[in-house]
Structure formats: structure tokens, C-alpha cells
Amino acid sequence: MYPEKDGGRLNHETDATIKQSDAFGQFDFLGTICDIFVDQQRRLRQEFNTLILENLDSYSASQRRQFHGVVTDAGHTLKSIAGVLSAVEVSAEEPWLDTYLTAMNEGNRYYEVQYSTENEIDQWIQQGTEPAAAFWQAVQTQDEATLGFLQMEDRLYFLIAQPISRQGSHEGVLWTRLEASTLSALAMNSPVFKKVTSLVVQPEGTILYSSNVDFLSTGNLLTSLTSLSLPDDFVRKMQELLGQPRGEAYYFQAEGRQFFYSVSPLAQDWVLINFVQTPDVLIRSDHMLNIVLISGVVLIAATLLLCLSLVSVLFRKRRQIDLDQQRYTMLAQFLDTILFEYDLNQDKIEFTSNANVQFGQDKRIIRQASKNPEIKALIHLEDFPPRRRYSPQQLNEMQEQIFTASVGLPMKDGSFRQFACQYKWVFSEGELVKIIGKLTDITGQYSREQQLLKQAQRDVLTQLYNKAGEEAIEAQLKQDQRGILIMADLDNFKEINDRYGHTAGDQVLKAFADILKRLFRSDDILMRTGGDEFIMFIHGLQDAGLGKQKARQILDQIQQLRFASMPDLQLTASLGVARSPEAGTSVRALIESADQAMYASKEKGKGNVTDYAEMNANRDK
């Protein structure tokens, strides 16, 4: 009897110990789960802050890029007009210039070009404020365009001024102004921010412009920040960044709110600052955090009910949550346009529903995507890591990478539009399983950038390449050294200007440029190097007779030109031909060789064609 009692007590004690151990084990497990979700909450907040900083940095970069594009375009426009005015003998104060500027300003949404005489500038210097007088005095002493920031007519403007010089003295000034308030309009529309406060500040803190009047009350940014009772560390950090702006975004917390700001160099010694605070951020992390916390509560409750029998299920759920959260976090970075997801195991890509409207994608899901040429252009399969398990350190490095590409995709109507593609790799249990990314239509931005580039490279009168054409020729020679360069000079062109006027001379130059456009291929490079000199380059060919044949076609065409305003004009030209690699393999060597051949044509009596190689061969004889 006693042994049975002792054995029964021992069994009860053992059961109690096991239950107690199970209870402690469950509490430990619950504590581990809670720790995991607290860590997830912290990581999600970090991802949210990173998302806002990246978007603010992108917003500021777009603002600077558009501002520099407008300023550069205005500077080139002023310089081109000033060059024409300096070359002609007609006074800039005559009515024709106002008519020309009025026609040119039509349709320009950002600035208008104006002309002022030296007398008007002198009056502004005498009657204006000290900053205005200093700006216009600086303009009068420069030959190049001057950029400044002034208050005019109770508004703040960026000013660009280009003096017009004739025979060593200034005759007047071409100038334009860009209203400072358009600085915000220049940035791309952001789906992330409801309101962004933009400021233009000097390194010592003086505020030149602010979209928020609260900052203007003191006239100094550092004083305004101090008056708003913001942390001293932040004020010191801002003072440091004003001296050395890095073009980066930062954030800090004060009074229960988060503030995001970027500090970037703008132009001159100006600094561009953009401020955003959490009430002005359109996306919030609260909802995402609630989803994670609610999911955690559900999982904990299920774990308590099922205990040890559902531990394996819990771990599987945990892995799925990690993958889904990683996917959700990545998708949060792609807030606009078309989202896509590529499943490597199923070789399937799925787009959001707006793909059909954006770029004519008839199916939201495409199977056997790796065999589709358009999908290959989006995500470069050859760049994928091998299908194997990776260490945690390798995974951390690869998961942080964001890949980018720019591709042209076909539309339903047969046209092509330009898209920017960004994507990231998604791993599960150490293996690459998915690719998640976005497509953004950048056709408008791409076209504007190409237009600005074309304006910078083209001669205003003929729309042929200017000196920038030499870089294009050099690039083609690096691909293939074969090529034919033809240089042409219109004979007695100065007499045309003297006899009929510069307007008639411009008419002749345009007509000659039209002949070149008809006779040469679309990918041949046509240049006006200045005055009445032109260069034509045929890439990939070096036939000895082709260059002279093209030159004689030019000669025949120009001799047939007739003008109603110049009925007795008989045009001729002297042309020189140089072939690569015989006459040189660089653009400068070819130009020098063709120039020698062209002057040999002039010595023959003008209206002639000379090949550089033949000229040297005859000279050796």
C-alpha cells in the first residue's frame, strides 16, 4: 500500500512538473512572439521613414533638375539672340526686335525675353535698391549671362541677363525673369506629400524666398528655427548643412511630430531647402502597424488554443508573414503607375489593372514570361543570382538593392512610350522566389530632356548641329573609323550681306541647309560651324569617289538656287573632302584636312571640289 501511495504521489508531482514546464514554455514562446512583433513594428517604422526620405530626396532632385533646365534653356536662348544681334548691323532699338521677341515668347510658360537699353539699365542702377544696383552693375561688366535674385514689383524673381556687345562695347541687355514662386511648380507632382515648404537661403541663413510666410518674419532661417523652439541639435545641424549642402534628406522628432527636410545646392551660393512634417504626409504608417499588430494577436490566440500541436503550423505562418510583409514593404515604395510581380517558380508575371490603360497590356497575367522579349527588356533575367541558398549576410546585401532600367514599350496604337522600371528581389528561406517592381511613364520628361538637349546642340538659324556636332562625329569614329568629312564655304557670302542685307544672307544660309538635309542620310551629321562654313560627315563609308560625288551634288544644287529678292544672284561654293582613316582618325584631324582641301578649291577659282588625298598625291608628283 505504501509503495503505491508513494508511486501515485510521484506520478502526480511529475504531471504537475510537466504542466508547469509546459506553462513556462508557453509563456516563453509568447514572450518570443511579442518580441518578434515589437521588432517588426520598429523595422516597419524605419521602412516608413526611409520611404518618406527617398521620396523627399526625389522631389528635391526633380525640383533642382527642372530649375537648372529652365535656367540653362533661358541662358542659351539669350546667348543665341545676343549672338545674332551682335553679328547684324541693324540697331536693336528698332521695332523689329520687339516683334521678334513677342513671337518667340509665345507659348513659353516660364519666362519671357525682354530687351533694355544701356540708358534704361543706368536708370535702374541709380533708382533701384542696393541689391538691384549691384546686379545690373555686374551685368554691365560681364560678357556672359549673369544670374541673380531680386525683388521687382513687390515680387521675388530669379533674373538672367545677357549683355549685347558690338565692336567691343555694350549696346543693351537681353534679360528674363523667373518668378520665385514657380520653384514649387517645377518639381514633379508627388503622391506622397500634401504640402512641401520650399525655401531659397544663403549660406549664412538669410532667406531669399519662402513659400511659407512664417519663415519670412525674421528674415533668417536659423533665427526662425530657434524662435519655433526646435531642438538645438537640429538648428546646429542646419547651420552646418547650409555651409556644405549635400543634396540629401534628413528627419527629426519634436513635440510628438516627425519633420523631414532636404538641403541641396541650387545655383550661385544659394541653398534649396524643402520641409515636410507628418501631418502633410499623405501615407501613414499607423494602418500598416495595426495590420501587423492585429495579425500578431490572432496568431498568439491561435497558439494558446492549439498549444504544442500547432507549433509547426505557427512556424509556417511565421515564414509566410515574413514574405508577405517584405512584399508589402517593397510595394509601399512604388506608390504610382504600374506595379508588377514576377514569380520565378511559375515563370509568371502579373501586372496591376491599370497596365491595359497605360501601355496596352492586354493580359494582367503573362505566363512563360522568360520567353517574352518585352518582359526581358523590363527585368534582365541574365542578372539574376543563381538559384541556391544564400547566407544571411548575402541576403541582407541583395535585398537592399534596387535595380533600374529605361525601356520603350509598345502601345495599342503601335506607338512607343518611354518607361522607367525599378524592381527588387524577394527571397524566401534563402532562395530567390519573386521580383517586385514598378513602371513609371516618363515619356513627357524624356521628350523634354531630349528637346532641351537638341536646343543646346542646334544652330538657331539652320537647325543644323553647332559645334556640338564635333562630339557626335567623334563618337561615331570610335565605333567605326571609316567616314567621309566634307567642308563647304559659300563663295563671296560677305558681298551678299553687304549688297542685299543680312536678312537675305540668312535666307541663303537656310536654303543651303535645306539642300544638305535633302542630299544626306538622316543619321549623317550636318553642322554649321559659323558664318558661311558647313561640315557634313558620312559615317561608315570611305569610298574615294563617294565624297567627291556628294560634294558635286551640293555644288550643282546650290548653283540652281534662285531668289525673288535677288534675281541676279549666282551662288557657288568651295568644297574640300577628307576621308578617315587616310586623312586622320579624329574629328579635329579630319576638319583640318578638309579645310586644306577646301582652300585649295578656292585657289582654283572657287566653285570647285578638292579631295585631300588626291591633293597630296598630286603634290608629291
Residues known to be catalytic: 532
Q: Under a CB-based contact definition with an 8 Å cutoff, are residues 158 and 149 in contact?
A: yes
Q: Under a CB-based contact definition with an 8 Å cutoff, are residues 613 and 582 in contact?
A: yes
Question: Which residues are CB-contacts of 545 (< 8 A; sequence separation ≥ 6)?
Answer: none
Alpha-carbon dihedral angle through residues 385, 386, 390, 392, given to the nearest 10 degrees:
10
Give the residue carrying C-alpha cell 491599370.
Answer: 354
Q: Under a CB-based contact definition with an 8 Å cutoff, are residues 341 and 446 in contact?
A: no
C-alpha cell at 10: 510521484
Alpha-carbon dihedral angle through residues 225, 229, 232, 233, given to the nearest 10 degrees:
-80
Distance CA 565, CA 558 (A): 16
- Provide the β-strand partners of residue 617: none
Question: Which residues are CB-contacts of 516 (< 8 A; sequence separation ≥ 6)?
Answer: 464, 526, 534, 536, 554
**Could you write out the three-class secondary structure of 430-476?**
CEEEEEEEEEEECHHHHHHHHHHHHHHHECCCCCCECCCHHHHHHHH
Read off the amino acid at residue 599. Y
Alpha carbon separation from 587 to 333, 429, 517, 549, 581 (Å, rounded)? 47, 57, 21, 21, 11
Q: Under a CB-based contact definition with an 8 Å cutoff, are residues 572 and 474 in contact?
A: no
Query: Could you say which DSSP state residue 220 is in?
Result: B
- Provide the β-strand partners of residue 362: none
C-alpha cell at 558: 546650290
Tell me the Ramachandran region of residue 348: left when phi exceeds 0, alpha when psi lies from -120 to 50, beta otherwise. Answer: beta
